[in-house]
Amino acid sequence: MKHALLALGVVLPLLSACGGENQRLVQNDEYGDWRNGRARNRPQGATAGIVVFGVDKDREAREAAATGGGSGLSVNAYLWRATLDTLSFMPLASADPFGGTIITEWYSPPSANGERFRAQAYVLGRQLRSDGVRVQVFRQTLDRGQWVDSPVSPSTNADLEDKVLARARELRSQSASR
């Protein structure tokens, strides 16, 4: 008996590495937890209980599913929409919801002839965080018939980021109160 068990003990772990597509990790909630150890029908393992420390991935996923609605966003939906809203006064050149980049065309404000702007925004992840969006504004001025790169006021980028965040907060609170 012992020898048979030993053989199993040695061979089976090695065999298990060869399962390929028919193989998967057995989740913690697929094991019995005898008697009082488990409250029945509660999520187990990685999703059990209430998060007291760390990032609640399940809640994030739920919220992303709720707000993204299966649109295939791979970045935070609030930040993405807030960025689009904030930059919507400029014509869009491209928007990639998977990479999280938004690039606008050059835009000349009606009030300021001889000056044009272009913006690039990056939504950096799935989390709604203050450092989750980066906005870069480029400015050119018309100098003797040529558009020439000019410096942007250092606060412009930060101001736009703040506007995006404020809008994201608005969207978030709207969806939470629904």
Partner 1 sequence: MRKILLGTTAVVGAALLAPAVAVAQEAPTVRIGGFFRAYYGNTQQSGRNSTQPSTLATNVSGATSNLQQQATGSAESAGNIARLSKNDFSTDAEVHVFVNGKTANGLSYGAVIEIAFNQQEGRNIVQQRASTGKTTASIDEYYAFIASPTFGQIRFGDEDGPVGGLMNSGVVTNFGTGGIYGDRESFVSRQANVRTTTAPGSLGDNTKIIYLSPQFFGFDFGASFAFNYNEGEDTGCSSNQSSGWCDSAYAFTGASNFGIAAAGPNMSVRRNEYQAALRWRGSLAGVGLAVTGGYVGAGAARELTVQGTQARLYNNLNVFQVGAQATAYGLTVGAQYEHGDSNFFWGNTLRGDRPMDQFFTGASYTVGPFTIGGNYVIQTVEGGSRSSFSAAAANGGSSTGLVANPGTPGTGNGTNAALMRRIGWGVGGNYRLAPGLDLVAEYSSYTVAERGRDLDPSNPGIQDRNVAKVFILGTRLAF
Cβ proximity to partner 1: between 58 and 105 the closer is: 58
Cβ proximity to partner 1: between 37 and 151 the closer is: 37
Which one of residues 35, 146, 154, 177 is an interface residue with partner 1 (CB under 8 A)? 35
- The length of the chain is 178
Give backbone dihedrals phi and psi of 30, rounded to 5 degrees, phi first.
Answer: -95, 0
Burial of 77 (0-12, 13-18, 19+ CB in 10 A): buried
Which one of residues 55, 93, 148, 152 is an interface residue with partner 1 (CB under 8 A)? 55
Q: According to the binding rule CB under 8 A, does residue 155 interact with partner 1?
A: no
CA-CA-CA-CA torsion for 177, 50, 75, 29, nearest 10 degrees? Answer: -130
**Min CB(4)–partner 1 separation in Å:** 9
Cβ proximity to partner 1: between 46 and 166 the closer is: 46
The CA–CA distances, whole Å, from 10 to 6, 16, 23, 24, 74 equal: 6, 11, 19, 20, 42
Q: Where does this chain bind partner 1 (CB under 8 A)?
A: 1-2, 5-6, 8-10, 12-13, 15-19, 22-26, 28, 31-37, 39-42, 45-46, 48-57
